[in-house]
Structure 1
Amino acid sequence: MKMTPRLYIFVAISMLIFPSMAKSASFPVKTSSTQEKSNIDKHLVVRDGVIMPSSNSPEILQGFFIIENKSPNDMLLQNITSPICDRISANHSDQVKTSNESANFDIFKHLAVPHASVMVFPKEGYHLVCYKLKQQEPVKDTAPFTFHFLGGLNVTADFSYQNHE
């Protein structure tokens, strides 16, 4: 059976809803040698990152990007950080959140990135949201975002800033 990107997202979301499945899931990251970790570093890429102000709140940025895992191992994304954001979470373009809603459901806190796959986070779907910008002045041409994976692997990508959607 060939897994589609929608199925991968379904599996990742299921792991959030049913944590016992996540504990039994295996995400082998070989970190026993520097050479093996270096090879994984080269094979895990975050690219085409763009950030722009939210149409609802200009002090909030939305980010769109692609994660490509060319390695033979599944990887588990645990968090995304940036020096320009106090907090980063996930959102879907079709979701409407109320101010009372909890932000506990965040796919970027526990996202499986399957081996030999490409995952796209577009304007029309799941994307990142940067809350409470740390700097008072507008974002410059680019801003770094670091993707933290299980096993201590961190991948940093510069996201281009765009003023308009």
Structure 2
Amino acid sequence: MDRDREFGEFVDARALVLRRTAYLLCGDWHRAEDLVQTALTKLYVAWPRVRRDGAVDAYARKVLVRTAIDESRRGFRRRETVVEALPETPVPGSAPADFDVRAALAALPPGQRAVVVLRYWEDLSVTETARLLGRTEGTVKSQAAKGLATLRRLLGRHVFEEQV
């Protein structure tokens, strides 16, 4: 199978999950698209090595998370989302509680947000999260605990337990 076809199949299979993860990391669908495109571009360049190592998913997540963290350090934040028209019917994930969770995630510092998203959305272990972020397991545990405590405080225990 040639490189372009293999890469295309990977993108077809994983783009939606990467986009959702990117959205949880940055809180904006347009920025999420940009993050995914950047991550996929970097993945394509490294494709032969990454595919040979058998770590395609891990590499894609790593590039995505690091790109999101780097971007957040630059201070770029869009508070408003531009849309052409309001949807006539509610879209999935548009319940008020969902917006509360997204706003609370956006309030976390980038490092804590990355840990919470990887641990509880991507369902990675402490070890996998630490390796992906280049942090110690102790730091990941600490950041997860602080992030969850902040989410509980912002959302209230009842809403938090329903969502997580």
| TM-score, with structure 1 as normaliser | 0.29
Higher percent of residues as helix? 2
TM (norm. structure 2) is 0.29
Which is strand-richer, 1 or 2? 1
